Structure formats: structure tokens, C-alpha cells
């Protein structure tokens, strides 16, 4: 009798996940996906009212969820909160912002604000979750929501693209360092996703034409397109994947 290989499980039962930026958009979608896969999800954002509404909605689906108010630009408070409430088996960092403008018009204030969240905040929240896992001798899956702009450039997106290229870099370095602890570190790189954060782009007919020309599948990315990817990377189905970028870009970067 042939012994057939067993497909790894995508169940997340018994695991605890921290989702940063979970009150809307991609972060909200990731929180729902992980909760539906069985994880206990700690939903984090700055706006407590929105956060509590999302937690209640997730719980109404019969899933396990709690709120955790965090501003990842406040490094010290974030580290303390993660140490107190962890360890977390899964991290999804979806906090991010953009201050899009032609590069010759970039201000120091916009540059610092984007880097403070997209790079500095992302770096230290990933570090904090990893420290909790290492101190507890636990494996884990750490996922940063990056962007296709972490691999290419884009109109009016010099600062945003720089921040996401940096996320790709530290993800690879951390994956190398933490591999011996069985801690995997990866990114998900979406194309333009229809969320409140991107609404101004979708309101621009010229930008919409440019986006649709670049996306080989010929349609706009929705939050639901990210949800399967995050469960895959969080679960044992991706147990041999680390230091990688999962492109969810409809073929944008295939050129």
C-alpha cells in the first residue's frame, strides 16, 4: 500500500494572532480571515471606537477576538503592550500610510511621517513579537503587509515606495536571523486595493487607466483577494516559506 503524503493544515486553532491596523481595509480583512481559520485574534488600531465595533462584529460570527489599542509609532508603549499580552504565534502588520506627491515636492514632514509608521513602526513591532516568541521558545509566522511598490516604482510614490523597499529588506534579514528559532518572516505585496486609504487614487480617472493597464488580470484588487494569502502564510501550509514576498498584484510585477 502506497503511503500518500498529507496536505498540511491551514487551520489556525490554538494560535494567537496580533493584527495591526485591524479596524479597516486590508487589516480588517486579515483579521476576519485568521479568525475564521480558528485563531484567537487580537485586533489592534489607534481608534478605539472603530476597533470595538470590529471586535464585536467578529465575535458575532462566532470567532474569538479582543481589542488591543496600539499606535506603533509609539515604540516603547507598543513593546510593553506586546510583551504583556503575548506571546503571539502570528503577526500581521497592516498599519501604513501614504503621503503621495511628486518627488520634487516631498516635504520633510511627509517623509518622516510615512517612514515613522511604514518602516520604523513596522520594524519594531516585528522585533517585539519575535522577542516574545524567542523568550517563550515558540515558533511563529510574522507577516508584514508590504506592497508591489516594494519591488517597483510608481508615480508620486517615491517616499511610499522607499518605505516598502525597506520593509522587504529587513524582512529578509530577520528571516535569516530567526530561522533557527523556527520563526518565519514574510511579506504580502498587494497591488492597489480598493480601501479607504486608496480612495483618492480610485477617484482619479487617469490613475485608474494606468492601474488597469498594469494589472494583467484586468481588474482592481479587493480586500478579499488578500485574505487567502494571509491564512496561507500564517499556517503550516507555508511551513518552508520564509524571507519571501507573496505578490498579490494581478501580474503587475511580471513584466
> Could you give the residue numbers annotated as active site?
160, 164
Query: Positive or negative CA dihedral for 230, 234, 238, 242?
Result: positive
Gap between the Cα atoms of 247 and 4, Å rounded:
30
| 3 state DSSP class of 225 | helix
Task: Say how far apart CA 190 and CA 200 lie, in whole Å.
Answer: 17
Orientation angle between helical segments 25-36 and 224-234, nearest 10 degrees? 50
Q: Which of 249, 39, 239, 8 is nearest to 152 (CA)?
A: 249
Beta-carbon contacts of 246 under 8 Å, excluding residues fewer than 6 positions away, are 186, 187, 188, 189, 229, 232, 233
Grid cell, residue 97, equals 500610510
- Reduced to 3 states, what is the DSSP secondary structure of residue 211? helix
Amino acid at each position: 500500500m502506497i503511503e500518500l503524503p498529507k496536505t498540511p493544515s491551514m487551520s489556525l486553532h490554538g494560535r494567537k494572532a496580533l493584527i495591526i491596523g485591524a479596524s479597516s481595509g486590508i487589516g480588517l480583512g486579515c483579521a476576519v480571515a485568521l479568525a475564521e481559520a480558528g485563531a484567537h485574534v487580537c485586533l489592534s488600531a489607534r481608534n478605539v471606537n472603530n476597533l470595538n465595533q470590529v471586535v464585536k462584529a467578529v465575535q458575532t460570527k462566532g470567532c474569538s477576538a479582543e481589542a488591543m489599542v496600539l499606535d506603533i509609532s509609539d515604540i516603547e508603549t507598543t513593546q510593553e503592550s506586546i510583551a504583556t499580552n503575548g506571546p503571539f504565534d502570528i503577526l500581521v502588520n497592516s498599519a501604513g500610510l501614504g503621503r503621495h506627491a511628486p518627488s520634487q515636492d516631498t516635504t520633510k514632514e511627509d517623509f518622516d511621517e510615512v517612514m515613522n509608521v511604514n518602516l520604523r513602526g513596522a520594524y519594531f513591532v516585528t522585533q517585539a513579537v519575535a522577542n516574545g516568541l524567542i523568550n517563550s521558545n515558540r515558533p511563529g509566522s510574522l507577516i508584514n503587509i508590504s506592497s508591489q511598490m516594494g519591488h517597483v516604482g510608481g508615480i508620486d510614490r517615491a517616499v511610499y515606495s522607499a518605505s516598502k523597499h525597506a520593509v522587504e529588506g529587513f524582512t529578509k534579514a530577520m528571516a535569516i536571523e530567526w530561522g533557527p528559532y523556527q520563526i518565519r518572516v514574510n511579506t504580502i505585496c498587494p497591488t492597489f486595493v480598493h480601501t479607504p486609504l486608496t480612495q483618492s487614487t480610485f477617484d482619479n480617472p487617469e490613475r485608474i487607466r494606468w492601474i488597469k493597464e498594469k494589472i494583467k488580470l484586468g481588474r482592481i484588487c479587493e480586500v478579499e483577494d488578500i485574505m487567502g494569502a494571509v491564512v496561507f502564510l500564517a499556517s503550516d501550509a507555508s511551513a518552508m516559506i520564509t524571507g519571501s514576498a507573496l505578490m498579490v498584484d494581478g501580474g503587475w510585477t511580471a513584466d
